[in-house]
Structure 1
Amino acid sequence: MILRSALFWLWLSVSSLFSSFCFSQSVTEIRSFQVTEAKQAVAVDADHFYVINNNTITKHTKSDGKQVAVWDGSKEGIKHLNSGVVIKGKMYCANTNYPEIPMASSIEIFDVKSMQHIGNHSFGIAQHGSLTWINQRDGFWWCGFAHYSGKEASEGRDTRWTAVVKYDPEWRQLESWVFPKHIIALFTPKSNSGGAWGEDGLLYCTGHDEQDLYVMRLPKSGFTLEHVRTLPAPMHGQGIAMDHWVKGKQIIYGINRAEKKVIAAEIK
Structure 2
Amino acid sequence: MRSVVAMVALLFAGSVAAQMMPQAKELRRFPAEEANQGVATDREYFYAIADHDIGKYRKTDGVRVAEWHGQPPQFIHINSCTVMAKELVCAMSNFPGVPQVSSVERFQISDLKHVGSTPLGTGRGSLTWVEWHDNSWYACFANYDGRGGEPPRDHRATVLVRFDKHWKKQQRWLFPEDVLDKFGHMSASGGRFGADGLLYVQGHDLPEMYVLRLPAKGDRLEHVSTFGVPTNGQAFDWDGANPQRMWSIARKGSVVVESELPAVNTR
Superposition TM-score, scaled by structure 2 size: 0.87
Hey, what does 2:221 align to over in structure 1?
A: 225
Structure 2: stretches of 5+ with no match in the other structure: 1-19, 263-267
Q: Which residue of 1 aligns with 2:128?
A: 132
Q: What's the counterpart of residue 12 of structure 2?
A: none
CA RMSD of aligned residues (A): 1.5
**C-alpha distance in 2, partners of 1:84/1:94?**
6
Q: Distance in 2 between matches of 1:98 and 1:262?
A: 23
The question of whether the paired residues in 1 share the 8 Å contact of 2:57 and 2:64 is answered with yes
Matched, 1:57 2:51: no
The answer on 1:31 being equivalent to 2:28 is: yes
Farther off after superposition, 229-238 or 75-84: 75-84
Q: Which amino acid aligns with 1:141?
A: W
Task: Give the aligned partner of residue 261 of structure 2.
Answer: 267
SS in 2 for 1:63: coil
Cα distance in structure 2, aligned partners of 1:123 and 1:108? 11
CA contact (8 A) 1:148 1:188 kept: no
Separation (CA, whole Å) in 2 of partners of 1:250 and 1:128: 33
Q: Report if aligned partners of 2:34, 2:49 keep a CA contact under 8 Å in 1.
A: yes
Alignment of 1:1-268 (within 5 A): 26-74=23-71, 77-125=74-122, 127-246=123-242, 249-268=243-262
Residue pair 1:176, 1:223 contacting (<8 A) in 2 also:
yes
Contact 1:71/1:115, CA 8 A, preserved across alignment:
yes
CA deviation after TM superposition for structure 1 residue 198, in Å: 1.0
SS of the counterpart of 2:246? strand
Q: CA deviation at 1:151?
A: 4.6
Query: Which residue pairs with 1:3 in the alignment?
Result: none
Listed one character per residue, the Cα deviations across residues 38-90 of structure 1 (whole Å, up to 9, x for unaligned) are: 11000111110101100000000011111111100026621210000001010
Return the offset for 1:106.
0.4
For residues 163-203 of structure 1, the C-alpha deviation after alignment (integer angstroms, 9 at most, x for no partner) is 11111111111111111111111112111100001112111
| Distance in 1, Cα, partners of 2:78 & 2:68 | 12
Preserved CA contact (<8 Å) 2:108 2:114: yes
Aligned length: 243
What is the alpha-carbon distance in structure 2 between the residues aligned to residue 152 and residue 103 of structure 1?
A: 8
Inter-partner Cα distance in structure 2 for 1:104 and 1:120: 13
Contact 1:131 1:145 in 2 (8 A): yes
Change (3 A) 1:232 1:222: same
Work out whether residues 22 and 228 of structure 2, in 8 Å CA contact, stay in contact via their aligned partners in 1: no
Does the residue aligned with 1:252 lie in a helix, a strand or coil?
Answer: strand
The gaps in structure 1 that reach 5 residues or longer are 1-22
Amino acid at match of 1:57: I
Counterpart in the other structure of 1:4: none
Q: Provide the identity percentage.
A: 38
Relative to structure 1, is the Cα distance of residues 263 and 119 closer, same or farther in structure 2, using a 3 angstrom cutoff? same
Q: CA deviation at 1:267?
A: 1.2
CA contact (8 A) 1:186 1:207 kept: yes
Q: Is the 8 A contact 1:150 1:189 kept in 2?
A: yes
Residues 56, 74 of structure 1: 8 Å contact kept: no
Amino acid corresponding to residue 161 of structure 2 in structure 1 = V
Residue 25 of structure 1 contacts residue 267 of structure 1 at CA under 8 Å; is this kept in 2?
no
Distance 2:158 2:241 in 1: 30
SS of 1:74's equivalent in the other structure is coil
